[in-house]
A and B are shown apart, each in its own frame.
Chain A
Amino acid sequence: MSVGRVAVTRGVLLRLREQIEFIKRGKELLQMKRDNLAAETNRLLAKVGKRHEFDKRLMAAYDALKVAYMTLGYSQVQSEASTVGLLETRVRPRSVMGVLVPEVVAGKKPIIASITNASSYAAADKLSALIGELLEIAEAESRIESIAQELMMTNRKVNALERVLIPQTIELIRYIEGRLEEEALEEFFRAKRVKAVIRRVK
């Protein structure tokens, strides 16, 4: 907002004052959104923090699967796995402060009871025990990704309002107020001079 191009009128001043109030309210809302998003991120980070320990358990389950593959071969393990039903999951969008994040709803868990072989069953048992947690971590990571993007954008907006728009508008208001004061003073002085001239002529 360039100072030089603005018409110095009371109307503009009033409009700018309304505008600055609006911007400040907007900034407060954005700050609130930023704080909530940051709180949500912190909450999710605690979940993602378990990832390291989860990875270890997942690797142990994969080791069991490797043993099953080595013992029975790919075709046999694939055959045993074909008795296991599919994992039912539903991904639905959820809004967190206007940010659409995925929410994973796990449905029926796959039944592994039909697996006869001990190695395949051990691997399937270990892997299926991790499915719930795996979905939770995947959901948390995906949410963090969306929220972090929005958090960054919101932060930029708050910074732009705080450091650029609000100071500029305040400066403009001050300028217009100054100019209007000067004009009023000039007008007052002119009126006094006119009065003095009229008195002298009389």
Chain B
Amino acid sequence: MKPAAITYIVTRTHGLRTHLITPRDIQFLAKTKSLREVSDNLLKTEYGTEISKLPTKEVDASTLEGIFFKTLVDRYFLIAREAQGKMQELLNAYCTRFEVENIKRILRARHGNKISEEPSLIPLSREHTLVNFQALLNAKDVDEAVGLLRETVYRPLSEKLELYRQADVTMVLEAALDNIYFGRLWQLVQEVSDGAGLKDLIGGEIDLHNLLITFSLKARDLSANLIDEVLLSSSHRLPLRRLRALTKGRLEDAPNTLTTPPFSKLASAALTAVSGGSSMPLERIILKQLYEEASTALRTRFLEAGYVIAYLLLCECEARNLLTIATGKQLAVSEEQISQNLLGI
């Protein structure tokens, strides 16, 4: 029998799922004529409260992006608040992806050393993070920023400073942050009872993250050592040895190296994308797979803890789709191209 806390959070998620914008409505938004029309249509949704506060003149893709992320953050933390025990611990850890993203943005800004340009951060209230972003923003360089993180869970970042200085690329530190994030998540997944669905979704995300890193960096002809360094140390269905073989070999051999489904099919699609033969960027191909897995989990694991993670992934998918539509409308991108870039539709 399932613990009552898990049953409660799954049931609660079922209720919250109804708040998601349906794929049909997303397609309708993609077909609207202007950004104004998009924001008007969103007034009837969960985003409406924030959008209605905006003066009409201030409605642009950048402002809407802030609202989409704020709503996404609220949805994530609402679920985490409602959960209990190990599941709450796992969800709290899952929610730190925003904190990690903000740290990455600050590190990138300090690396570029453009003091005049403050990075735009995902809106996170003080209760949702233990990191003092203001102090990080005031750091004069990456070393100081990493030093400030020494007393947090991001302490292992300081071990990567030497490699960062040698390679002079922030991706080393970003990978270390991802490793800390996914490492902790993977550890917590093992502790949650009813974790099979969770394992598939979180493990799937880890595998896809590794696949994305391998393809995007290999296409840039970066050294196998550096790619190995930025891969996540955990994996689920895609063994790291296969990826390492891929980093040392030729990218063209990827469909043969990654033989298990869905990776062989993904590898072929990714190969077409990196060679410029696909209109869809590499991330979209990988994310599409991730959100398809989440959609499937939403249909098949409707009484399991994995349902919660699937819902959160679909919240993220919705935010990304809205972002694509709003940005596309602002940049006068054709309706067809916007539709092509939508995920999970």
Contacts and interface: CB of A to CB of B under 8 A. Distances in A.
Contact of B120 (A67, A78, A118): A78
Interface in A127-159: none
A69 B329 CA distance: 11
A68 B323 CA distance: 11
Interface of B: 61-62, 65-66, 104-105, 108-109, 111-112, 114, 117, 119-122, 168-171, 174, 212-213, 215-216, 219-220, 274, 281-284, 323-324, 327-328, 331, 333, 338, 341
Interface residues of A, number: 27
B219 A118 contact: yes
Interface string A31-75: 000000000000000000000000000000000001111111111
Contact of B327 (A70, A85, A118, A119): A70
Contacts of B338: 70
A71 to B, nearest CB: 6
Contact of B169 (A70, A78, A113): A113
Interface of A: 66-75, 78-80, 82-86, 111, 113-114, 116-119, 121-122
B197 to A, nearest CB: 28
A70 B331 contact: yes
Given A70-B338, A117-B283, A121-B220, A75 B169 contact: no
Contact of B281 (A74, A80, A114, A118): A118
A80 B62 contact: no
B324 A71 contact: yes
Among the interface residues A79, A84, A85, A118, which one has the most CB atoms of the partner chain B within 10 A? A118
Contacts of B168: 111, 113-114
A116 B323 contact: no
B211 to A, nearest CB: 12
Contact of B62 (A75, A83, A86): A75
B327 A74 contact: yes
Given A82-B108, A83-B111, A114 B170 contact: yes
A67 B219 CA distance: 18
B105 A79 contact: yes
Among the interface residues A66, A83, A113, which one has the most CB atoms of the partner chain B within 10 A? A83
Contacts of A116: 170-171, 174, 213, 216
Contacts of A83: 108, 111-112, 169-170
A70 B341 contact: yes
B119 A114 contact: no
A73 B122 CA distance: 12
B333 A79 contact: no
Nearest to B279: A67
Given A82-B108, A119-B281, A73 B171 contact: no
A82 to B, nearest CB: 4
A122 B281 contact: yes
A70 B108 contact: no
A71 B66 CA distance: 15
17 contacts: A69-B327, A70-B331, A70-B333, A71-B283, A72-B283, A73-B323, A74-B62, A74-B65, A74-B327, A78-B117, A79-B104, A79-B119, A82-B105, A83-B108, A114-B108, A114-B170, A118-B274
